[in-house]
Amino acid sequence: MATITGFIEKIKFRNEENGYTIMTVTDQSDGDEVVMVGVLSYAAEGDMIQASGHMTEHPVYGEQLQIESYELKNPEDAASMERYLGSGAIKGIGAAMAARIVRRFKADTFRIMEEEPERLSEIKGISEKMAMAIAEQVQDKKEMRQAMMFLQNYGITLNLAAKIYQEYGPKLYGIIRENPYRLADDIPGVGFKMADEIAQKSGIFTDSDYRVRAGILYVLLQASANGHTYLPKSELFRQASELLKVAPETMDKHLMDMQIDRKLVVKMPVSSDEGGCSDPLVYSAHYYYLELNAARMLHDLNIRGDIPETEIRDNLMKIQQKENIHLDELQEKAVFEAVNSGLLVITGGPGTGKTTTINTIIRYFEAEGMEILLGAPTGRAAKRMTEATGWEARTIHRMLELVPIGMAASGNGSLSSSSSTAGMRFDRNEENPLDADVIIIDEMSMVDISLMHSLLRAVNVGTRLILVGDTDQLPSVGPGNVLKDIINSGCFNVVKLTHIFRQAAQSDIIVNAHRINEGEDVDLSRRSRDFLFIRRDHPDAVISAAITLIQKKLPGYVRAEPDEIQVMTPMRKGALGVERLNQILQEHLNPPSPEKKEREAGGIIYRTGDKVMQIRNNYQLEWETRSSYGIPTDKGAGVFNGDMGIIREINEFAEILTVEFDEGKMVEYSFKQLEELELAYAITIHKSQGSEYPAVIIPMYSGPRMLMTRNLLYTAVTRARSCVCLVGRPDAFYSMASNSAEQERCSGLKARIEEIYKEVSCPE
């Protein structure tokens, strides 16, 4: 057993999850540099450490001390104190200042810093203010070290321990011992299950009030991840009982307290859509008020204009003649309603003329000299809208001027007042509304209640808001059922386009998409230019056919690069799930080579040239576009769930991976952030929403009935612009096309709209 005391010169590696550290330490006894390896709850460069362990010989790195026990110590002699203070460990103290402090106070230096910090101002160059700041740092370092060691006893990682200390400071001891469930509310990255493990180690009882309330909120949070904004009380209690292992009847007493604390809102159903008449509906307060306020704002925007029909007809005739546009009756109705409605919904399937209608509406308002804004939920959808209209479209996030929290500042240096959600804020809101007369939003089926609420806050009453979307597409990834709820409320002007135009009718993609949606038969044996079924009976044969299509057949046929052709599948797991497909497709489409750098993280190999997807919203990630000379031309923040790009560079020295997303947006990921990316040679159909590809390949094989649904198939087919290739078994296709089951979403926007209109029509 060897014991070495010395200064930590450099931390060469640290795993922020488990604290495993490799570092060099200068031995105080002889000045030699020693490599130490072990798990440390907290240590920083400049700290003095006394470590005990066994010396071992590493085949590559040579002799090193395997730490078995250690203690971080305050330097005791003058030379050690001076070295520690001059190491940069204390901000504001350099080598010269450290020498003056130790020369003045000698062995009493650290006691002075902790007990009489004002005396530091006796040193030349240190003001009273600076003296107190130095003392605060010394105390904070001491407290943080103690906190990290305390939290390690509860199995909390270094990364998380640092966040907990920053949030609570010295209060964390009481919180961990009394109510660790607060962590789930306050600390990003801590969920109920982690808080529950900490609570068990703290000796908190299974039926603790804190635990039951946290469990109820956790079940509602999980429900929101599945698209729900509320749960019926009986279903909430059933799920919470399974989670908490407590009887459902013991939970009733908590609902009232949680309502008083404004954590929950409990409502009785107002219609059969909400699933019965006696079971109360339980909302987290956040989502209830999002829906309630969104309903109020929708009502306020729904103003009727009084422009004469003859005037609209004359203007419309001029536009049709000038642009050589021919509208059917429903399209004309949409233009009339757009002119005289504060709020309008235009819906319809592919080929029914939504784009032509939008273009006509744009030309009409352009001729009137109005300010028009176009938006869509994703970058790809906004790009499609721009190409289809010739008018710049932006993502809703960019339209609302997204700024990550901590970056938005007003002129006086304080945070600006703005609409916000976790990790971000929008600078456009009721105090700083969008400067537009007309706002048109496409792909509305993808818009969840949070984004809709933020958008509505930024739309002035009197501005025309036109919402366009296909209600038969998959609903939004986020909670709510916004487009369907607005339409089904029956309170707003809705124009549904149904006529498939002659040019669109020549596309088997469009014709068959409508057949699928209507539950009609599709003839898979029919020869087609753009809707192909390739029979393969085994998963590996399906994959082999997909590779041949991507590498050889489709690029020339649809005039696209191989990385523009997208494989889409219903499942993540299984023989034809996203995870297995991506591993195999990567090996064939972007094989390893000496010229391509790689980085492994979380069991995934990321390689230069790989196609990848962002899998969660990150409002803090910064991007920039660059000129051909590499000079930045634009920058911003925010990379969103479903954004796809190509890995352009992997820098091992800087530990950075660079991805190029749509519109040339370059984003740098630290290696610690790679969990936010996954390979995207194959993606789930859910992730394809709002996107369009030159060609798509859809494996057709058996799978869970709840995933193999008609509207999932419909969504996948309509993502193809020029060609869709279904590869697999015909019976899997027919089974999917006949499965009209859809997961019902518990959303209350429709009910809130109906309540508001009832109040208006029947005031007390």
Q: Which residues are annotated as a binding site?
A: 351-355
- In sign, the C-alpha dihedral spanning 606, 609, 615, 617 is positive
Spatial contact of 232 and 280, defined as CB atoms under 8 Å apart: yes
Helix axes 78-85, 95-105, angle to 10 degrees: 150
Find all residues with CB under 8 Å of 555, minimum gap 6, and list them: 561, 562, 565
For residue 422 the two structure tokens come to: 């976790």
DSSP-derived pairing of the beta strands 48-58 and 2-14: antiparallel
Helix H segments across 368-481?
Answer: 379-389, 396-399, 449-457
What's 640's DSSP letter? -
Say how far apart CA 704 and CA 444 lie, in whole Å. Answer: 28
200-238 burial by CB neighbour count: b if 16+ within 10 A, else e? eeeebeeebebbbbbbbbbbbeebbeebbbbbbbebbbe
Say how far apart CA 474 and CA 486 lie, in whole Å. Answer: 16
* Secondary element (H or E) of residue 172: helix 172-178
Name which of 249, 459, 261 is nearest 373 in CA terms: 459
C-alpha dist (Å) from residue 123 to 30, 84, 89, 100, 677: 32, 18, 19, 7, 52
Find all residues with CB under 8 Å of 173, minimum gap 6, and list them: 147, 150
Say how far apart CA 462 and CA 61 lie, in whole Å. Answer: 71
Say how far apart CA 261 and CA 333 lie, in whole Å. Answer: 49
C-alpha dist (Å) from residue 34 to 28, 428, 662: 11, 56, 48
Q: How many of the other CB atoms lie within 10 Å of CB of 669?
A: 25
C-alpha dist (Å) from residue 558 to 326, 531, 694, 733: 29, 13, 6, 24
For residue 89 the two structure tokens come to: 């460990």
DSSP-derived pairing of the beta strands 438-441 and 281-284: unpaired
Spatial contact of 680 and 612, defined as CB atoms under 8 Å apart: yes
Beta-bridge mates of residue 465: 343, 439
For residue 32, the one-letter residue type is D
Residue 181: half-sphere exposure toward Cβ, Cα within 13 Å = 18
* Residue positions forming the annotated binding site for ATP: 351-355
Say how far apart CA 683 and CA 269 lie, in whole Å. Answer: 38
For residue 72 the two structure tokens come to: 């971080």
Beta strand segments in 515-641, E: 531-535, 566-569, 598-601, 604-607, 611-614, 618-626, 632-639
Residues counted in the chain:
764
Say how far apart CA 700 and CA 537 lie, in whole Å. Answer: 9
Say how far apart CA 745 and CA 753 lie, in whole Å. Answer: 17
Say how far apart CA 184 and CA 190 lie, in whole Å. Answer: 5
